[in-house]
Amino acid sequence: MKKNLAEFIGTFWLVLGGCGSAVLAAGFPEVGIGLVGVSLAFGLTVLTIAYSMGHISGAHLNPAVTIGLWAGGRVKAGDILPYVISQILGAIAAAAVLFVIATGNGSDIGGFAANGYGEHSPGGYSLVAAIVTEFVMTFMFLIIILGATDDKAPKGFAGLAIGLTLTLIHLISIPVTNTSVNPARSISQALFVGDWALAQLWLFIVVPIAGAIAAGAVYNYMRK
């Protein structure tokens, strides 16, 4: 339960910090943080939780990461479901808090930082572009996570490498899909947006998980 609670809190922080920055601060008149600021916010949430709670649960904060680590031989199959449930619940709790804050000035939530493709992609990118983006970004995310946390990797730098990787991923892919690489993050925002966000949610569950599993298999091959 301690590990599951850590995953709940960590994923709560990731969604509140990352999606919160996008919803509340990205386009704020004159002093908005923009795409670079949102990218940094996502990276900083992972960085801070990695160093504060990584020793408790591993700070996965993402169902795709948990499943990818299982594919890479780092996580037991029995740990997957409790971790994933905790991550999704943490993300939903953060989205609920963000909803209360975002509607506190009388405005509606708009896109609420939900992930999308086609007409719901920030840059109007196609379904194929979205699939390729989410697969490749999640694949590389897991390769770096597996490598940075390897027994042979330099000690103490994994959190930094992983946080900066997530920042880079967002710098690349926010215009394409609003960047998921995390089914829990996508589920939480889609539940509050409904409609198109729920209709397109399948991509942001299936594709990141596929990319993560592929990365686990490839890293295992390279490591042996």
> Which range marks the domain in which residue 205 is found?
2-223
Confidence of residue 7 (pLDDT cuts 50, 70, 90): very high
Asked if pLDDT for residue 151 goes beyond 90, the answer is no
- Tokens standing for residue 68: 């990818």
Number of domains observed in the structure of the chain: 1
CB contact at 8 A, 115 and 189: yes
pLDDT of residue 49: 96
Q: 62-66, 106-110, 181-185, 215-219: lowest mean pLDDT where?
A: 106-110
Q: In angstroms, rounded to a whole number, what is the distance separating the alpha carbons of residues 139 and 116?
A: 19
CATH code of the domain in which 175 resides: 1.20.1080.10
Average pLDDT across the chain, whole number: 95
- 118-146 pLDDT tens trace: 999 999 999 999 999 999 999 999 999 99
Please compute the mean of the pLDDT values over residues 56-64 and round it to a whole number.
Answer: 95
Please list the alpha-helical segments (H only) found in the chain.
2-20, 34-57, 63-71, 77-102, 127-148, 158-177, 183-193, 195-199, 201-223
